[in-house]
C-alpha cells in the first residue's frame, strides 16, 4: 500500500476501498474518477480563452462548427445541433446570443422560405479564427507533458473506448 503522499485524491479513495472491500477490484473507479476530475480541471483551463471574448464554451462550439463547415460558413440549426451535440433549444439560445453580439446572422434558406440558416458574419469569422488559434495553443500546453507517441496512444484509446460505449 502506497503512502498518502504518493497517491492522488483518487488513489487514496482506491486504497480505502481496497482496505474496506478487498473482495472488489476498484481499479475502474480510478479510471472513471480521474477522468471526471481531469474533465473538470480541463474545463477550468479552457474556459478563460472563450471568456476573454465574452463567450461561453458552448458559444465557441457554435462558432467553430460554422467555421469548420467551410465557406460560406453556414449551417441549419439542425446541423448545428448535430455537430455540437446539444438540443435544438440549446442551439437556439446560443445562436440568439451570437446574433445579438453580431457574430452570426440568421438567413432564410433560398430553397425553403420556412427554413433558416445560421451564418458567420465577417466579425464572427475574424473572432473564431483568432480564438481557434489561441484555443489550440492552450490545448497544446495542456498536453505538453506527453510525448507525441503518448498523445497518439491516448487519443487512440479514448476513441476506441468512446466507440465501445456507443
88 and 45 co-located in one domain: no
Four-CA torsion 55, 59, 62, 66, nearest 10 degrees: -20
138 and 81 co-located in one domain: yes
90 and 152 co-located in one domain: yes
Q: Write the CB contacts of 29 (distance below 8 Å, at least 6 apart in sequence).
A: 10, 13, 14, 17
Domain, as residue range, for 140: 52-166
111 and 146 co-located in one domain: yes
Number of domains in the chain: 2
Q: Give residue 28's pLDDT.
A: 95
15 and 27 co-located in one domain: yes
Q: Give residue 104's pLDDT.
A: 97
pTM: 0.82
Is the pLDDT higher at 112 or at 38? 38
Q: At 56, which CATH number?
A: 1.10.10.10
CB 66 within 8 A of CB 120: yes
Amino acid at each position: 500500500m502506497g503512502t498518502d503522499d504518493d497517491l492522488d485524491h483518487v488513489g487514496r479513495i482506491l486504497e480505502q476501498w481496497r482496505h474496506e472491500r478487498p473482495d472488489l477490484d476498484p481499479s475502474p473507479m480510478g479510471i472513471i474518477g480521474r477522468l471526471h476530475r481531469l474533465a473538470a480541471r480541463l474545463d477550468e483551463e479552457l474556459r478563460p480563452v472563450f471568456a476573454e471574448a465574452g463567450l461561453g464554451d458552448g458559444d465557441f462550439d457554435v462558432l467553430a462548427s460554422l467555421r469548420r463547415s467551410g465557406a460560406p460558413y453556414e449551417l441549419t440549426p439542425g446541423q448545428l445541433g448535430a455537430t455540437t451535440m446539444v438540443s435544438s433549444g440549446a442551439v437556439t439560445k446560443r445562436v440568439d446570443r451570437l446574433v445579438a453580439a453580431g457574430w452570426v446572422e440568421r438567413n432564410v434558406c433560398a430553397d425553403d422560405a420556412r427554413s433558416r440558416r445560421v451564418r458567420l458574419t465577417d466579425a464572427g469569422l475574424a473572432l473564431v479564427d483568432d480564438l481557434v488559434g489561441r484555443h489550440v495553443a492552450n490545448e497544446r500546453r495542456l498536453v505538453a507533458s506527453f510525448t507525441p507517441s503518448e498523445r497518439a496512444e491516448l487519443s487512440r484509446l479514448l476513441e476506441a473506448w468512446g466507440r465501445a460505449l456507443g
